[in-house]
């Protein structure tokens, strides 16, 4: 007999003086019956109903975000690196993948930044919000140093928080109706920001995104596209020295590119993030300022030596190696192989993180990029592991 039936029987049989024999207490509704004291007084407590209200908006996500491949190249590499470290928790992993520097900022720069920062704590030095385009003196110095005799003045220069942010802002400026061309392979931010803006179609393996003009840059054409085969676009993103191949366009090649743009009414977005590595006589760096080479030249020289070590390592193993002269990246060819497979093999067998070439565009398939940004001991150890794997 259930507890409920026992309680009903007890009340019915012993409560004639209280309720009368014909008056059973019905407690079947959705109430909880609590046992009373010996006087057989029952207390019924109602169970409150619980209502759940779901609040939803009618705001949908930008559908173009769904077109992005693996979110972004370097987060995908980071995920695979994390998985590798879980699998090999004691492995001495070396990262030569993302182009992140390792050597300290020269003291002359750090000291100047500290001095300027400390001045903000004084009445005389505090300035509130800075000029929206950047400090006038800094802009004037950049114009006269990097663009001397080119007609560039301080009003043509602005200070921002980095090239990646600027690329996205330019895409917002252009809007979704423009067409773009990129080197293939090239820095992924050009394409990804265009995808988010809605400038492209869907992604196809080994082809890329629809509505983007991929300008093939291969060893056969010296990593400069055959402009006679390129369709007209509104905007051309061009990086020299190039990330990831490390190739730099010559003066003659850039002259061709400018004429091509003029003939087609096209805007060139010229990314020269690695201009400090250039070895020709084109005036393009702060080294023209007296004393500036001793501010920065030692650091650049350190990474150049890293590059030389990596290049010579892969060349000694019989690989075709490109770049490394005018940029801190080495572009290594693995013909007929998937760049992600090569990335995985190197990570699994040497515990060294590189970057798969296909992440920079369809033209990067079959290549890996090795960054020269790293501590010397790590670069030497990574090269020792490469030699052991591919000897």
> Each residue of 310-321: pLDDT tens digit?
999 999 999 999
Q: How much is the pLDDT for 288?
A: 33
d(CA 195, CA 202): 9
- In the chain, % helix, strand, coil (3-state, to 5) comes to 40, 15, 45
Q: Collect the ranges in the chain with pLDDT lower than 50.
A: 1-32, 34, 36-39, 283, 285-294
Angle at 85 between CA 67 and CA 354, to 5 degrees: 60
Q: How much is the pLDDT for 20?
A: 38
User: Alpha carbon of 229 to those of 209, 233, 363, 365: distances in Å?
Assistant: 18, 12, 15, 21
Residue 235 near residue 266 (C-beta atoms within 8 A): yes
Q: How much is the pLDDT for 50?
A: 65
Query: Model-level pTM greater than 0.75?
Result: no
Angle at 141 between CA 261 and CA 165, to 5 degrees: 55
What tokens were used for 88?
A: 């090999």
Q: How much is the pLDDT for 205?
A: 85
Burial of 325 (0-12, 13-18, 19+ CB in 10 A): middle
d(CA 309, CA 63): 45
Q: Could you count the other beta carbons within 10 Å of the beta carbon of residue 127? A: 10
Residue with tokens 């492995």: 91
Instruction: Please name which of 391, 389, 390, 337 lies closest in space to residue 368, comparing C-alpha atoms.
Output: 337
Q: How much is the pLDDT for 164?
A: 86
d(CA 278, CA 66): 38
């Amino acid at each position: 007999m259930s507890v409920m039936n026992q309680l009903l029987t007890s009340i019915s049989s012993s409560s004639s003086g209280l309720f009368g024999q014909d008056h059973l207490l019905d407690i079947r509704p959705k109430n909880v019956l609590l046992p009373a004291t010996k006087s057989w007084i029952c207390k019924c407590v109602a169970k409150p109903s619980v209502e759940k209200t779901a609040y939803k908006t009618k705001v949908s996500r930008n559908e173009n975000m769904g077109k992005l491949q693996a979110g972004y190249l370097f987060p995908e590499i980071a995920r695979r690196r994390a998985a590798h470290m879980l699998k090999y928790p004691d492995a001495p992993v070396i990262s030569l993948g993302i182009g992140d520097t390792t050597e300290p900022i020269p003291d002359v720069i750090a000291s100047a930044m500290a001095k300027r920062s400390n001045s903000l704590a004084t009445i005389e030095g505090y300035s509130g919000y800075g000029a929206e385009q950047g400090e006038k003196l800094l802009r004037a110095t950049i114009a006269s140093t990097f663009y001397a005799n080119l007609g560039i003045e301080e009003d043509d220069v602005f200070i921002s928080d980095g090239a990646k942010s600027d690329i996205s802002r330019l895409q917002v400026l252009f809007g979704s109706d423009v067409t773009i061309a990129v080197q293939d392979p090239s820095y992924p931010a050009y394409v990804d920001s265009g995808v988010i803006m809605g400038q492209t179609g869907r992604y196809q393996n080994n082809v890329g995104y629809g509505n983007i003009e991929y300008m093939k840059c291969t060893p056969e054409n010296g990593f400069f596209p055959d402009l006679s085969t390129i369709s007209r676009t509104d905007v051309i993103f061009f990086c020299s020295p190039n990330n990831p191949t490390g190739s730099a366009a010559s003066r003659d090649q850039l002259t061709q590119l400018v004429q091509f743009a003029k003939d087609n009414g096209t805007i060139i977005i010229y990314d020269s993030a690695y201009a400090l590595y250039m070895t020709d006589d084109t005036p393009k760096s702060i080294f023209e300022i007296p004393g500036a080479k001793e501010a920065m030249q030692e650091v650049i020289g350190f990474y150049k030596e890293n590059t030389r070590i990596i290049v010579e390592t892969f060349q000694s193993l019989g690989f075709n190696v490109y770049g490394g002269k005018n940029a801190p990246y080495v572009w290594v060819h693995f013909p007929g192989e998937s760049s992600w497979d090569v990335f995985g093999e190197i990570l699994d067998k040497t515990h060294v993180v590189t970057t798969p070439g296909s992440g920079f565009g369809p033209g990067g398939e079959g290549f890996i990029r090795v960054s020269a940004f790293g501590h010397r001991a790590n670069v030497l150890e990574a090269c020792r592991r490469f030699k052991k794997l591919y000897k």
